[in-house]
Amino acid sequence: MSHGIKDKVIVITGASSGLGECTARHLSALGATLVLGARRADRLHTLVADLEKQGGKAVAVTTDVTQKVQVEALVKTAVDTYGRVDVLLNNAGLMQQSMLGSLKTDEWDNMIDVNIKGTLYGIAAVLPYMKAQKSGHIINVSSVAGHKVTPAGAVYCATKHAVRAISEGLRSEVKEWNLRTTTISPGAVATELTDHITEKEIGAGIRDFYKHHAVGPDSFARIVEFALNQPAEVDINEILYRPTSQQL
């Protein structure tokens, strides 16, 4: 079933790897038209070439979500190329875990800029177009960390709690324009996310946990498909999922 996906123009941030790449491949196979943003242009263009070889339609736009003008350019490319933007998947994210006492303020800034500001810049870029269309779906990516707070995760958890708060505020504001909003909160999923942890002991512990428990990124792609495939009158607002073996 792909009636909510085929021929839809879908913008994905953080599309060069992990959840974003896997979801792009999955949605392309279901007939979506994709506009893909990420910082790593080489990987992004390789992905687009792969999708096109398989009969898909995709465009790559080098995008740093911490730069508002670049996010605006990503969305404008979708509208200029295909005439509309139906879905935004605000996927770009960063997880740098450390104890607050380590005072890694640069990493705090990084997570605030990517996870919170990047999400807001995506919303700001698509909202005028979706309001004018009186249709659209914004999917924001939170985390289990947006529901729980852990030692060494205080700032990361704060950013993911913020994504949920922003999403709920957005949901309550956009009903008159017929817009839908979904927040997806994954548990441990096998991606590059744990590679960003610079504290050796904490990073080793988390990576070992992921080694034994993480599920594949295709789990996330299937959940995006589920949210998009609902009838127009159904708005799936929040999905929290974990590996079956994950206790936290």
Q: What is the pLDDT of residues 75-129, one digit of tens each?
A: 999 999 999 999 999 999 999 999 999 999 999 999 999 999 999 999 999 999 9
The DSSP-derived string for 31-96 is: T-EEEEEES-HHHHHHHHHHHHHTT-EEEEEE--TTSHHHHHHHHHHHHHHHS---EEEE------
What is the pLDDT averaged over residues 138-152? 97
Which domain does 185 fall in, by range?
Answer: 9-241
Does 2 score more than 70 pLDDT?
A: no
The whole-chain average pLDDT of the chain stands at 96
Where is average pLDDT lowest: 157-166, 171-180, 205-214?
A: 205-214
Instruction: Please give the backbone phi and psi of residue 147, each rounded to the nearest 5 degrees, phi first.
Output: -120, -20
**Residue 210 is among the residues annotated as catalytic for this protein:** no
Whether 82 maps to a domain, the answer reads: yes
Short-list 112, 67, 122, 127, CA closest to 91: 122
Q: Which residues pair with 34 in a beta bridge?
A: 10, 58
Q: What is the pLDDT of residues 218-242, one digit of tens each?
A: 999 999 999 999 999 999 999 999 9
> Is 3 among the domain residues?
no
Looking at residue 97, which CATH number applies to its domain? 3.40.50.720
Q: Which of 82, 121, 129, 156 is catalytic?
A: 156
Name 87's bridge partners.
10, 137
- Domain presence at residue 87: yes
**Residue 51: is its pLDDT beyond 90?**
yes
Calpha distance 107→197 (Å, rounded): 9
Q: Which two tokens mark 151?
A: 């030692």
Q: Please, which pLDDT band fits residue 192 given cuts at 50, 70 and 90?
A: confident
Does some domain include residue 2?
no
- Number of domain units in the chain: 1
Specify if 234 maps to a domain: yes
1 pLDDT more than 50: no
Contacts of 221 (CB under 8 A, 6+ apart): 19, 22, 23, 25, 26, 27
Q: Is residue 127 part of a domain?
A: yes
Q: Is 185 a domain residue?
A: yes
